[in-house]
Amino acid sequence: MAVSRVPSPPLQEVNTPVAENWCYTQVKVVKFSYMWTINNFSFCREEMGEVLKSSTFSAGASDKLKWCLRVNPKGLDEESKDYLSLYLLLVSCNKSEVRAKFKFSILNAKREETKAMESQRAYRFVQGKDWGFKKFIRRDFLLDEANGLLPEDKLTIFCEVSVVADSVNISGQSNIVQFKVPECRLSEDLGALFDNEKFSDVTLAVAGREFQAHKAILAARSEVFNAMFEHEMEERKLNRVDIHDVDHEVLREMLRFIYTGKAPNLEKMADDLLAAADKVRMLKWQTNISATVQKCGKKN
């Protein structure tokens, strides 16, 4: 006999919905099996509609449900007279009804299960009610010695039963707090830092215009700025970088990209921006601009 174990609630995985309250309904299923051997089967004298019954059996000594198997060796009726009919019968129970699935098979000479048939759902049994197969197996096939289903003229039927027992509800409250990760605003925040010039520590001058910036951000994004501020160069000492041959609007757009990773006017000034990027060795910036230049070229 095997009884399904009621599981405890699993741990919640990351990114799965978390409810404050939960409930598991576990339908318990009791499984057991029974073997019935009929000796000298070929001598059974039962006519069509007449029946053989097995002894009663149950899932265990304390189980109040009693079952038996019922066989019509020559079929249940005119339609099934060329077949063996096989049924599971609920002999007695302490409930108004029981639901169960079942599987029948025949053990051959090698004690292997053959000609198996099983119910496709759990059927409703009441005391005295049976379910099964009117045309379980053809008699001529069963009696043919070549098929090996009646070794020493013994028919051995193997039956597996799964009874739906009571369902169990387990409920509780979740102790997991679900935190919502805010949308990342790093790009917007760094863009605001560039615009308001707060905590700036270096001045970039071009064509009479000046832009306030932050050495750490410039160094992280440009090989040239990184080398400039890392070594004892004039720009590091004076906290000022003079840039030549670059328009101030181009420099503004380049600095916007350094801080935010975005360049709203990229297509308008792609060639100038590519030249500026080359001066400060911004590889990702160069790649983006080159792709844009090619795209614009195809359009034209």
User: What is the spatial distance between Cα 66 and Cα 70, in angstroms, rounded to a whole number?
Assistant: 13
Q: Which two tokens stand for residue 76?
A: 């249940």
What pLDDT shows up at residue 81? 92
Sign of CA dihedral 192, 195, 201, 207: positive
Give me the tens of pLDDT residue by residue for the chain, a chain 300 residues long.
444 444 455 555 556 677 788 888 888 999 999 999 999 998 887 788 889 999 999 998 888 899 999 999 999 999 999 999 999 999 999 889 999 999 999 999 999 999 999 999 999 999 999 999 999 999 999 999 999 999 999 999 999 999 998 888 888 887 766 567 778 888 898 989 999 999 999 999 998 899 999 999 999 988 888 888 888 888 888 999 998 888 888 888 888 888 988 888 877 887 787 777 777 665 555 555 555 555 544 444
Q: Provide φ and ψ at 103, rounded to 5°.
A: -140, 130
Residue 89: helix, strand or coil by DSSP?
Answer: strand
What pLDDT shows up at residue 158? 98
What pLDDT shows up at residue 15? 60
User: Please, are residues 61 and 71 in contact by the beta-carbon 8 Å criterion?
Assistant: no
What pLDDT shows up at residue 279? 72
Pick the CATH number of 185-287 from 3.30.470.20, 1.20.1560.10, 3.30.710.10, 2.40.128.50: 3.30.710.10
What pLDDT shows up at residue 300? 43
For CATH 3.30.710.10, the residue range(s) in the chain are 185-287
What pLDDT shows up at residue 70? 96
DSSP-derived letter for residue 148 is -
What pLDDT shows up at residue 299? 47
What pLDDT shows up at residue 115? 94
User: What is the CATH number that goes with domain 26-166?
Assistant: 2.60.210.10
For CATH 2.60.210.10, the residue range(s) in the chain are 26-166
User: Would you say the pTM of this structure is higher than 0.85?
Assistant: no
